[in-house]
A and B are shown apart, each in its own frame.
Chain A
């Protein structure tokens, strides 16, 4: 064990904990322990409970165990990163069926968060493409868990934040791509209602869509932004050469606390929006440019300084209409808490993961630098989300209260029932499950 007494998620709010590294996950999971991958969840999802402050870091367990280049079925240890998968399999014509906005995630983490991506409206979440999991469960057994074998455990583990057991291996169906290039179109839209409508429109025609919006702007240009959509380029339209992998730079230091202020963020947003000329642009881009623009700056989370940040991500259901999205954005911009990055995406049908985040509606994600009133702001936004029947994304959360979580999650009891069946003592727990589900966390308790 290292003598570092604290670890942190991507939002950099630390909690007590020590990471144990190793190549053999079977051995490391002999005692039920929370697993953690690359630590990209923003809040306390990958932080251990204070009473059992060790967490297994899976990143050294990164072997491909079976790969069929004809069918695209991959089986690998849970610590294999999407970064590596892209480099190994994209040149062979295969890509992850669902990609989040960063490639610095592990297979185990993608299952535990049941990640979604730009193709959610056509492909669903990652878990939908998972064929099997090899898991350590609370009674010590190692089991093969699939949509037909221990089905309850499978769908509770997909999106289950590590609260049902430890994921040792993942078998997933990759997706064949027509070329390693993406044909992308971007459109500038100057107000929120038009942007949400345009997002819905392009989603009917295109398999990959998202939008970036300026969430500092108020008034009639509130929610102005840029809509991105695209598809894998057809082989005959794509260049013969493989797209270059980006050169990465590292954010070398923590930004001082004054660096992000309304003026600097406003200037940034103004620049991004107004430099997008003409109004509509189209062309071939690399998957990295399309999917992972932020990955080019390693450790960009330092931009928010030492106080850290949280990301608020919620989905406003379609049933509430565009008006609800507008009301939410009004409330968000009124708090003045939002920073420059705000991402909006229309989601498709809800998946089978018992706690999976997406539902048909508009997903909104925004970074909020931590200040004294952050919890109050999150509570205020949660009230709006609960009011329209939406929900938040656990992977990003650090501030939602148990009462709010219960109010937005009618599926919670079904999840807890399965969890109770497999882990009655709630031995697989995290700082987040202690906070959200009230798992026992007495100091010194086993």
Chain B
């Protein structure tokens, strides 16, 4: 499988890219830090079966980079079978409320930037008859919650878009996989107190890979978060106003 990967240098993206490389998938990495891309490419070359991935510059905050990056990757790989987007920004609600410029950037990157990137990726995949678009959203988008108001809103919008994409284009060969990770211990969540059911990147990546292979339109990872969110979605507003999560 030829995979274009945006966000493979860190966290869950790093774990997923390693599992793909280990089974022989051909990867091409996009990102905004050349040094980090080179380091991850070397890592994947050593762990993988398909040689060193190509790398290219792309920044979710700069939509002008999307089309050329995807075109270059597609040419280098000889066509795309799958596009994975794990990149995104995070900030706690307190931090984002204190710094609205940062909040604005996060909303731009996580929602507007990611959606427009997906539109370019969708075109590239459909131009050759279809493929899989796997994008990391978050459980934070499932319900408006105190600790993740702004971040959650960016992911709620993204989840809605990904669901619509699946409804609109599945019949034409575009498989959309929306991943909703719960709390996973990565660099992104470093410094936060892990809640119960906090996951590790490797098992999450295994679950995501399975979903990509099967074309599952939406998954929670770790699995337990499906039930956690099921309950949270049922809680009435007067309860959500009281609780801290």
A interface with B by C-beta (< 8 Å): 1-4, 20-24, 60, 63-67, 77, 88
Contact A63 B43 (CB under 8 A): yes
Q: From A2, A3, A66, give the contact of B42 (CB < 8 A).
A: A66
A2 touches B191 (CB 8 A): yes
Q: Contact between A60 and B46 (Cβ–Cβ < 8 Å)?
A: no
Interface 0/1 of B9-37, CB less than 8 Å to A: 11100100000000000000000000010
> Is B234 interfacial (CB 8 A cutoff)?
no
- A64–B10 touching, CB < 8 Å: no
Contact pick for A67, options B10, B39, B46, B186, CB 8 Å: B46
Chain B residues with CB under 8 A of A23: 9-11, 14, 187
Residue from B11, B39, B186, B191 within 8 A of A63 (CB atoms): B39
B42→A22 contact, CB < 8 A: no
Confirm or deny: B190 has a beta carbon within 8 angstroms of a beta carbon on chain A.
Answer: yes
Known interface pairs A63-B39, A63-B40; A22-B190 also in contact (CB < 8 Å):
yes
**Chain B contacts of A65 at CB under 8 A?**
39, 42-43
Residue interface mask B107-118, A partner, CB < 8 A = 1: 000000000000
Q: List chain A residues, Cβ under 8 A from B39.
A: 63, 65, 77
The 9 closest A-B pairs by CB, nearest first: A67-B46, A21-B190, A63-B43, A64-B46, A23-B187, A64-B43, A22-B187, A65-B42, A1-B191
Centre residue among B39, B45, B185 by max chain A CB count within 10 A: B39
List A contacts of B193 (CB < 8 A).
2-4
Partner of A20, one of B9, B14, B190, B192: B190
Chain A residue numbers with a CB within 8 Å of B45 are: 67
**A47 to B: closest C-beta gap in Å:** 19
How many A-B contacts at CB < 8 Å in the complex? 44
Using CB atoms, name the residue of chain B closest to A92: B46
B203 CB to closest chain A CB, in angstroms? 14
For the complex formed, measure the closest distance between the CB of A393 and the CB atoms of chain B, giving whole angstroms: 31
Q: List 25 A-B contacts (CB under 8 A).
A: A2-B192, A3-B193, A20-B191, A21-B191, A22-B187, A22-B190, A23-B9, A23-B11, A24-B36, A24-B187, A60-B186, A60-B190, A63-B39, A63-B40, A63-B42, A63-B43, A64-B46, A65-B39, A65-B43, A66-B42, A67-B42, A67-B45, A67-B46, A77-B39, A88-B47
Once bound together, how far apart are the Cα atoms of A374 and B228, in whole Å? 46
Closest to B33 in A: A24
Residues of B within 8 A of A60 (CB): 186-187, 190
Cα A88 to Cα B48 with chains together (Å) = 9
How far in angstroms is the closest Cβ of chain B from A369? Answer: 30
B147 to chain A, nearest CB (A): 15
Q: Find out whether the CB atom of A64 lies under 8 angstroms from the CB atom of B186.
A: no
Measured CA separation A293–B224 after assembly (Å): 32
CA distance A3 to B191 in the complex (A): 8
Interface residues of B in 38-93 (CB under 8 A from A): 39-40, 42-43, 45-47
A64 to B: closest C-beta gap in Å: 4
**Complex: chain B residue closest to A77, CB-CB:** B39
Q: Are B43 and A21 in contact (CB under 8 A)?
A: no
The CA-CA distance from A64 to B39 in the complex, in Å, is 8
Q: How far is the CA of A77 from the CA of B14 in the complex (A)?
A: 14
Which chain B residues lie closer than 8 Å to A24 at the CB level? Answer: 36, 187
Residues of A within 8 A of B10 (CB): 23
Contacts of A20 on B, CB cut-off 8 Å?
190-191
Q: Is the CB of A21 within 8 A of B187?
A: yes
**Min C-beta distance of B218 to chain A, whole Å:** 28
Q: Besides the contacts A64-B43, A65-B43, A66-B46, what 18 more A-B pairs have beta carbons closer than 8 Å?
A: A2-B191, A2-B192, A4-B193, A21-B190, A22-B187, A22-B190, A23-B187, A60-B186, A63-B14, A63-B39, A63-B40, A63-B42, A64-B42, A65-B42, A66-B42, A67-B45, A88-B46, A88-B47
Q: Which of B10, B43, B187 counts the most A-chain CB atoms under 10 A from its CB?
A: B43
- Whole-angstrom CA separation of A412 from B11 in the bound complex: 41
Distance, CA A24 to CA B40, complexed state (A):
12
**Chain B contacts for A63, CB-based, 8 A:** 14, 39-40, 42-43
Distance A247 CA – B187 CA, assembled complex (angstroms): 28
**B47 contacts A64, CB within 8 Å?**
yes
Alpha-carbon separation in the docked complex, A446 to B144 (Å): 42
Bound CA–CA A24/B10 (angstroms):
10
Q: List residues of chain B with CB within 8 A of the CB of A67.
A: 42, 45-46
CA distance A21 to B201 in the complex (A): 14
The smallest C-beta distance from A56 to any residue of chain B, in angstroms, reads: 11
Residues of A within 8 A of B46 (CB): 64, 66-67, 88
| Complex contacts, B11 vs chain A, CB 8 Å | 23
**How close is A434's CB to chain B, nearest CB, in angstroms?**
25
Closest to B48 in A: A88
In the complex the two chains form, what is the Cα distance from A66 to B187 in whole Å? Answer: 23
Question: Could you tell me the distance in whole angstroms from the C-beta of B94 to the nearest C-beta in chain A?
Answer: 14
Q: How far, in angstroms, from A226 to B39 measured CA to CA in the complex?
A: 45
Bound: A4/B193 CA distance, A = 8
Question: Residue on B with the closest CB to A89?
Answer: B46
* A contact residues around B14 at 8 Å (CB): 23, 63
- Chain A residues, Cβ within 8 Å of B9: 23
| Cβ–Cβ < 8 Å partners of B42 in chain A | 63-67
B192 nearest CB neighbor, chain A only: A2
**Shortest distance between the CB of A292 and any CB in chain B (Å):** 19
1/0 contact string of B164-192 vs chain A (CB within 8 Å): 00000000000000000000011100111
A22 to B11, CA, bound (A): 10
What residues of chain A lie closer than 8 Å to B36, measured between beta carbons? Answer: 24
A64 to B40, CA, bound (A): 8
CA A63 to CA B10, docked complex, whole Å: 10
In the bound assembly, the distance between CA atoms of A66 and B40 in angstroms comes to: 10
Which A residues are in CB contact (< 8 Å) with B40?
63
Give chain A nearest CB distance to B9 CB in angstroms: 8
| Chain B, Cβ-Cβ closest to A64 | B46
A105 to B: closest C-beta gap in Å: 18
User: Min CB distance, B5 to chain A, in Å?
Assistant: 15
Q: Mark B127-140, 1 if CB is under 8 A from A, else 0.
A: 00000000000000
Residues of B within 8 A of A88 (CB): 46-47
How far does the alpha carbon of A64 sit from the alpha carbon of B18 in the complex, in Å? 11
Cα separation A23 to B191 with both chains bound (whole Å) = 13
